Copies of this chain bind each other. A is one copy, B any other.
Amino acid sequence: MASNAPTLKMVAEAAGVHLSTVSRVLDPARRHLVSEAVAQRIEDAARAIGYQRDMAAAALRTRRSRLVGVLVPDIANPVFAPIIAGITGELFDAGYSTIVADVGKDGARQPQLIADLLSRRADGLILATALLDDPAARGAHRSGTPVVLVNRATDGEPVPAVTSDERRGMGLVIDHLAGLGHKRIAHLAGPQIISTGAQRRAGFDAAMRRSNLTPDPLIMVEAGAYDIASGRAAAEKLLASGQRFTAIATANDLLAIGAIQALGARNLICPRDISVTGFNDMPLIDMIEPPLTTVRIAGQEMGRAAAAMLLQRIQAPGSVVEHRLLAPELVVRRSTAPAST
């Protein structure tokens, strides 16, 4: 274990050289500075005694840790799983380690987690936790720490980000529903303090107008959170309003499940009476009844792209801030049908 781990000095003694020479040989970028014969001898010795470079010490000396911190709102939420997988995969390939931390639903742990990550000399941060107005994200970015937002962006002062193109995603939904003859389309929106909620709603408005339909404020409701209970509650409000509509475009798969439950409670059947769409294409959402028409976001790619962007910013800290948008994809299943008349 660590307490008796071989050090550079031990390798040096075994090979009969100075430890600085060992350090050179073991760094691919500087190995050529040493004669081949000596280098060979050192490599043999290092292998023989099982030398492993101490990253903690190297980080202290070089001020680079090859460590990246990832903050997520809820590590148990399946939506983030492919994103995290993409991030860790890309970073691993680049020789980086990833610390994934869960800030808790209310984000309470975020400040301490950021401080902790920085005190471990993390080379950069990826935040999946951003609110539209997010002082922590802005602050970290401003202070010069390489930061990239993923899945959710901020508005106002730009911070580097990789997200799905939410407006386009909702546009695909509306085009699909309009194509099925739906005219009165309700929107079950996500929390408007998060970019996904706000952008999907904006995409809803824009796409409705593009289709010459009117986004009617009377059939728009906002869910308090992205979960089934909130979706059901919001959909019940919609149904209780007495307004007429033939489809509900929701901002999230779980909200869609809640909406379908609310319909069922009133003996309305999806899609026969009312079509419902989701967003995200989460695992198993194709297995529910009815299988959900939804928008697939490229989670793993998003994670990879965010990691790549961060790596690039670690190399060139001051470089221009970009917001990369990934194209989503409509997945038509059986929760949508021609408008009932």
Interface set of A (CB-CB < 8 Å, partner B) = 1-3, 5, 52-57, 59-60, 63, 65, 67, 74-78, 81-82, 84-85, 88-89, 92, 97-102, 109, 113, 115-121, 143-145, 257, 282-285, 287-289, 300, 317
Contacts and interface: CB of A to CB of B under 8 A. Distances in A.
Per DSSP, chain A at the interface is mixed
Contacts of A76: 81-82, 84-85, 300
Given A76-B84, A102-B89, A116-B55, A1 B60 contact: no
A253 B228 CA distance: 21
A56 B60 contact: yes
A75 B84 contact: yes
Contacts of A63: 2-3
A67 B120 contact: yes
Contacts of A144: 1
6 closest A-B pairs (Cβ-Cβ)? A1-B144, A289-B289, A76-B81, A284-B284, A287-B288, A100-B100
Given A76-B85, A144-B1, A284-B283, A98 B99 contact: yes
Number of copies: 2
A200 B99 CA distance: 33
Contacts of A102: 85, 88-89, 92
A132 to B, nearest CB: 25
A54 B57 CA distance: 12
A157 B211 CA distance: 67
Nearest to A115: B52
Contact of A55 (B119, B282, B285, B288): B119
Contacts of A300: 76
9 contacts: A2-B63, A56-B60, A56-B120, A67-B120, A74-B85, A76-B82, A78-B81, A85-B102, A287-B289
A100 B92 CA distance: 12
Nearest to A2: B121
B100 A88 contact: yes
Contacts of A120: 55-56, 67, 97
B54 A56 contact: no
Contacts of A74: 85
Contact of A75 (B81, B113, B119, B317): B81
B92 A81 contact: no
A323 B75 CA distance: 26
Nearest to A58: B119
A288 to B, nearest CB: 4
Contacts of A117: 97
Contact of A81 (B81, B284, B288): B81
Contacts of A284: 257, 282-285, 287-288
